[in-house]
Structure 1
Amino acid sequence: MTHIIADISVSLDGFVTGSDPGADNGLGTGGEALHTWAFSDDPDDRRVLREGTVRSGAVVLGRRLFDLVDGPNGWDDQVGYGAREVGKPAFVVVTSAPPKSVRLDALDWTFVTTGLSDAVTTARECAEAAPSDSGNDLDVVLMGGGATIGSAFDAGLVDVLSLHLAPVVLGAGTPLFTGGPPRTLAQRSVTSTSTATHLTYDVL
């Protein structure tokens, strides 16, 4: 069964970027510390990254995050979704209008202009159609940004919440949660390393 998994790194005080994020300061001031774990050589960090990306049949992201990763200082062969670990899943971008051009044209991009729910549906169809080396069903991963994941969570679109809690207090930035209805979670797993505490919850 294909699940919708919200997967994001977050600070101890609940921010997914530092202050003043933007095209020239993608993760905001101090925000790079949130993703130290993804570049770690710790075997548990590598396993968490590998398992998370191997299960990805499709990835959903918002337009602001797309503009960062496709921008001149964005992803390349060494830095990107699942770099060094897996192949290239389909990417579905929630946007009001598709971009005029795409720098990362070797990736499979779909731009959905009819809202987040439709984007998740499109991503689910991509994941269900994607081949799996393991023979298991592949999942849809919501990689962000924070507003996209928060909106999906509030709308009841998320089955699993996967947080990578970085040992940093940013003080300001983009919050992951800004309100919305209360939700009950069931803790599935906890993995602690020197760079993060990896938390997985089923959303009930």
Structure 2
Amino acid sequence: MALVEADISMSVDGFATGPDLDAFPGLGKGGEQLHAWLDEREGARLSEATFAASGAFVTSRRVFDDTGGWAGHAKFWEEPAYAGYYGMPVFVVTHRAHEPVRTRATTFTFITAGVAETLKAAAAAAGDKRVHIMGGASLVQQSLRTGLVERLRLHIAPVLLGSGTALFDGAPGPDLHHLDTVDTPGATHVTYRVGRLSPPGGR
């Protein structure tokens, strides 16, 4: 059975995007700093290892729409080594039905049955590899509450954004157990094992 892992970058003060998303769609004002670690050698190596271990991806409709299905990211579509998200299926959580979209070796499947059903479909497609949940913040929150996520990886960039999209919304979440920490110049990468869900109102 596929291991389900949520993976997201955040600021030291807990934001997954910068402010002013209307004026700066996608990552918000200053939000690109959260992903600067991907452009560094050590960070790129970590990212490559994640792709190699993964067999399916889950993302939100907003991320899909904001990136145009990553159409603007040349490395995913133009470089042969990537073959469009490495040829892995991408499952999109959405409230709006949409026919599957195929771009090179990648098929985007849109699922309207909710986050839990999307994770199950991705796990079936991933086989013995990982399911990689890649945001945004709301999808990570919802995924953790399904009880299906086994690992959480936070890439904490050394930046204080002050405001933006909070990664966590203050509602109860699962227990977290530290597994690993890796430091690179652009971020501190912390991996947790996800335990049981905390009951409403506390533990």
Alignment of 1:1-204 (within 5 A): 1-22=1-22, 25-41=25-41, 44-70=42-68, 74-78=71-75, 87-99=86-98, 102=101, 105-106=103-104, 107-128=106-127, 137-204=128-195
Q: CA RMSD in A?
A: 2.3
Report SS of the residue matched to 1:119: helix
Structure 1 residues 180 and 24: CA distance shift in structure 2, 3 A: closer
Cα deviation per residue 1:141-165 (whole Å; 9 max; x = unaligned)?
1100110011111232210001100
Segments of structure 2 that go 5 or more residues without pairing to the other structure are 196-203
Q: CA deviation at 1:40?
A: 1.0
State the distance in 1 between where 2:100 and 2:123 align: 25
Contact 1:160–1:200, Cα closer than 8 Å, also in 2: yes
State the distance in 2 between where 1:28 and 1:156 align: 30
Letter in 2 for 1:125: A
State the distance in 1 between where 2:99 and 2:58 align: 19
State the distance in 1 between where 2:100 and 2:150 align: 33
Q: CA deviation at 1:24?
A: 5.3
Contact 1:68–1:74, Cα closer than 8 Å, also in 2: no
State the distance in 1 between where 2:182 and 2:188 align: 6
Report SS of the residue matched to 1:165: strand
Cα deviation per residue 1:166-188 (whole Å; 9 max; x = unaligned)?
00111111111102224221111
Report SS of the residue matched to 2:74: coil
State the distance in 2 between where 1:162 and 1:112 align: 24
Name the stretch that deviates more: 146-155 or 21-30: 21-30
Contact 2:100–2:107, Cα closer than 8 Å, also in 1: no
Report SS of the residue matched to 1:172: coil
Segments of structure 1 that go 5 or more residues without pairing to the other structure are 129-136
Q: TM-score normalised to the size of structure 1?
A: 0.84
Q: CA deviation at 1:16?
A: 0.6
Q: TM-score normalised to the size of structure 2?
A: 0.85
**Residue identity (%):** 38
State the distance in 1 between where 2:138 and 2:189 align: 21
